Each structure stands twice: as C-alpha cells, then as structure tokens.
Amino acid sequence: MIELVPLLMFLAVCAALMFGYPVAFTLGGTALLAAGLGIVAGAFDPELLRAFPDRLFGIMQNGTLMAVPLFVLMGVMLERARIAEELLVNLARVFSRVPAGMAVSVVVVGALLAASTGIVGATVVTMGLMSLPTMLKRGYSPRLATGTICATGTLGQIIPPSIALVLLGDTLSNAYQQAQLSAGIFNPKPVSVGDLFVGAIVPGLLLVSAYIVYLLFVARREPAVASDNDQGRVDLPDTLKSLVPPIALMVLVLGSIISGAATPTEAAAIGALGAGLLAFSRGALNWDRAGEVGRSTLQVTAMVFAILIGASLFSLVFRGYDGEELVTGFFNSLPGGVVGATLLVMVVIFLLGFILDFIEITFVVVPIVGPVLLAMGVDPVWLGIMIAINLQTSFLTPPFGFALFYLRGVAPEEVATGAIYRGVMPFIAIQLLVLCLLALWPSLATWLPAQLGG
C-alpha cells in the first residue's frame, strides 16, 4: 500500500483542484498531510523535510526565475498602455487590401502580445476585448473571429520570449541535470532557457504561418465569412510609429538572448525598461496606470512563486515515498520503450491541461516525468517544445479548454458558445499537425540551438 502513496497524492491534488481549491495550498497541504500520516505510520522519514528550507532558499536565489516578474511587467506595460491596441488598429489598415486582413493582423499582434506575457488568459481576454467587436462589425463570421482570437491567445506557450518558456526551461534544466547525475555523469551538460527560446523559434513561426495561410484560404474560399468592409485609410507615419518600437523591443530582447549578449533575466530587464520608456514617451503612463501595472505584476508574480513553493514541497514528499522509482518502473514496463513512454506523457499532459494551468503542470508534472524521459535519451529542448505545443492544444480543445472559457467571458451574448467551439477546430488540427511534424522531425526544434551552440 505504501508504494501507491505517490499515485494517491497525485490523484488527491487533481480532485482538490477540480473542487476549486487554490493550487499552491492544495499542493503544499496534500504534501504535508501525506508526510504527517507517513511519519505517524513510520513510513516516511521526517528528516527529509529539513531539505525544504534549502529548496526555498534556492528558489529565491534562482537567477533565471528573476526573469518572471520582469517579463510579466513588460507584457502588462504594453497591454495597459494601449500599445497593443494601437498596433492592432494600424496593422489592420496595413493588411486592409489582403483577404481576411483584420484576422491576419489579429494573429500578428496576438503573437507579439502572447510572446510578451505568456499568460493565455491575459492574451485571450485582451484580444477579445480589442478585436472581437471590430471583427464582428466588419462582417466576420462569429466562428472565424472567435477561433482566430482563441488560437492566437494560446501562442504565448510557444513563441519566445514568454514566461511559459522561462519556467519550463528552468524546470527542464534541473530535470536534465538530475537525469545525467542518475546515469553517473558527474559533469552534466547544461540546457538553458535560451536554448528553449531558440528551439521554439522555428515551431512558433511555423504555427503563425500556418494560421495565416488558413485564414487566407478561408477568405478566398468563403469571402462572406471574412469580409473587411471597413478598411480605413493607411496613415504611414502613424503606422510606422505604432509598429516599429514594440517590434524593435521584441527583437532586441530575443536577439540579445540568442546572440549571447544577455541572459534571459538581463534581457527581461531590458524589455521591462523598454516597455516603460515606450509607454512614457507616448504619454500613456501616469501614476494611476503605473500603480495598476505594479499591482497586476505583483499578483501574477506572487501566484507563480506561491505555486512553485507548493510544488517544491509536493515533489520533496513525492520523492520521499520513492515516487520517482514508481514512475521509472512504470515507464520502463510500457511497450514501445521511449516512444511509448513519451506518447503516454503527452496524452496525460494534454488531459491535465483541461484542469491545470501551464504553471501547475510545469512545476508538478514535468519534475516527475522529466528526469525519467531524459534518462531514456529524449532531447530536453525537443521535449520542452513538444510539451509547450501540447499544452497550447489542450487549452484550445472543447469543452474544457481555458482559452474558450476566457473568451466566452468577454464575448457578446449574441456569439453562441457552439460558434466558439466550431471556430477553434481548424486551429486545433493545425496545432496537431505541427505536433506530428515535430515528432517525426525533431530537428525542427533542435537544429537551430545546435547551430548557434556550435
């Protein structure tokens, strides 16, 4: 019975979350309850809990995780200063002569906004409030408009730089070192957040390009569902003024990481400072709005680190009950070896994406299954990109996808829920296609990091 405690812990967490209990306290409470019962029964060594303060100290000293509040600050600043809204309006005018021009501009602006925040809910709600009424007014079908916004909002999982990749990269880095140490390699090769950023570039561009190609195809085939009947005049100076600075900021942040000129944390600081200067120069930042930006950044950052602390305690108790050996033995017994184990993990993560956010999955699931898969020879960069796109697809899949709930909350009442569900189906197919391409050709994610690393 004792060997099943890790499984019972995991099931207890899932059940508590489905009842709406806070994630951080659910993880920590489940771990403490399991440890307390184990100590009373003589099945858990209480000395293991002495390692928890050291883990907390390690979290606070983690230089990579310092990028989280900075990237959040950059994204919130761009959102609250209405820079993204201005960018959307002007970009829509640029694409006004292109079939489905407004939808194409939503994809481009949404990708930039998603990259800067990495929070699915923030991007979907922002793009829904900014673009959905306009798209409906211009003659887009509710199905195409809502599907485009939902799919674009999930791009923050894969397009760098985003906090999703920062958190996933840090977790995979620890898992990779643990897997190599378990294999007797005492000089482990590092894998960094920058490696994950670079590995996500090709799949991210592939997804955005596939979205745009699909929209152009629909506009040509069914002009009635994607008609831009309010095109407006293109003002070149205003357009350049709204386009160049935010895009230049994104290029500067990502380019500094890829070139090795800055670490992800340093690049995040550059991005936060640049977003603040950009908002200040446009007169979009006052004391009240600055206070809103600070509070929103603090709330998101506190949520992330509270979950990380709870997950750290959970993983400590999980390993104290030999949960890692249980997972390793289970994976090794699966038919198909590493392929079967990877496929099972992807299915489980996809299903968990219905009830857990990417932060919980990154901090709870990845530390459990990551070391086992990496010890079986799976490339860490490829695994990280696969997990990111898998979660992106899960957040978009009816009837439980988070992106669908977020958009339903801000969509007009005349937009039917069924229209939202039907609208995301083609985009789900596109993401599954990209996921299959990555599975067949891992070099789509690993080639560019290898070239730049060389």
Question: What is the number of residues in the chain?
Answer: 454
Question: Between 251 and 428, whose confidence is greater?
Answer: 428
Question: What per-residue confidence (pLDDT) applies to 315?
Answer: 84
User: ω into residue 399 within 30 of 0, thus cis?
Assistant: yes
CB 143 within 8 A of CB 170: no
CB 365 within 8 A of CB 86: no
Question: What per-residue confidence (pLDDT) applies to 126?
Answer: 76
Percent of the chain past pLDDT 90, that is, above it, reads 14
Rg (CA), the chain: 22
414-447 pLDDT, tens digit each:
888 888 899 999 999 999 999 999 999 999 999 9
pLDDT of 232 > 60? The answer is: no
Q: What is the mean pLDDT of residues 78-87?
A: 75
Structure-block tokens of residue 451: 């070239």
Q: Is 295 exposed, middle or buried (0-12, 13-18, 19+ CB in 10 A)?
A: exposed
Question: Residue 140, SS3?
Answer: strand
Domain coordinates of the chain in residue numbers? 2-10+22-37+44-453
Question: What per-residue confidence (pLDDT) applies to 406?
Answer: 81
**In angstroms, what CA-CA distances link 55 with 31, 60, 311, 325?**
15, 9, 11, 21
Q: How far apart are CA 288 and CA 196, in angstroms?
A: 36
Looking at the DSSP assignment, which residues form a beta bridge with residue 226? 140
Residue with tokens 């898992």: 175
Question: What per-residue confidence (pLDDT) applies to 445?
Answer: 92
Cα angle 299, 301, 307; round to 5 = 100
**Following DSSP, what letter does each residue of 188-249 receive, concatenated?**
PPP--HHHHHHHHHHHHHHHHHHHHHHHHHHHHH-GGGB---------HHHHHHHHHHHHHH
Question: What per-residue confidence (pLDDT) applies to 118?
Answer: 61
Question: Between 209 and 164, whose confidence is greater?
Answer: 209
pLDDT of 230 > 60? The answer is: no
Question: What per-residue confidence (pLDDT) applies to 395?
Answer: 85
Q: How far apart are CA 374 and CA 391, in angstroms?
A: 19
Q: What is the mean pLDDT of residues 393-420?
A: 84
Q: What is the mean pLDDT of residues 403-414?
A: 83
Q: pTM score, two decimals?
A: 0.82
Question: Between 281 and 1, whose confidence is greater?
Answer: 281
At 65, is the pLDDT very low, low, confident or very high (cuts 50, 70, 90)? Answer: confident
**169 Cβ partners below 8 Å, 6+ apart?**
64, 191, 192, 193, 194, 195, 196, 197, 264, 384
Percent of the chain past pLDDT 70, that is, above it, reads 94
Question: Between 284 and 6, whose confidence is greater?
Answer: 6
Closest among 383, 342, 331, 323 to 176, alpha carbons compared: 383
pLDDT of 231 > 60? The answer is: no
Question: What per-residue confidence (pLDDT) applies to 117?
Answer: 60
Question: What per-residue confidence (pLDDT) applies to 129?
Answer: 80
CB 377 within 8 A of CB 339: no
CB 200 within 8 A of CB 451: no
pLDDT of 86 > 80? The answer is: no
pLDDT of 35 > 70? The answer is: yes
Q: What is the mean pLDDT of residues 25-44?
A: 89
Q: How far apart are CA 102 and CA 396, in angstroms?
A: 21
Rounded to a whole number, what is the distance in angstroms from the first to the last CA of the chain? 50
CB 107 within 8 A of CB 214: no
H and E: helices and strands count for the chain: 21, 0
Q: How far apart are CA 132 and CA 191, in angstroms?
A: 40
Q: What is the mean pLDDT of residues 327-334?
A: 77
97-148 pLDDT, tens digit each:
778 888 888 888 888 776 666 666 667 877 888 788 888 888 888 999 999 9
Looking at the DSSP assignment, which residues form a beta bridge with residue 140? 226
Question: What per-residue confidence (pLDDT) applies to 119?
Answer: 65
Q: What is the mean pLDDT of residues 310-333?
A: 82
Question: What per-residue confidence (pLDDT) applies to 235?
Answer: 66
Question: Between 218 and 187, whose confidence is greater?
Answer: 218
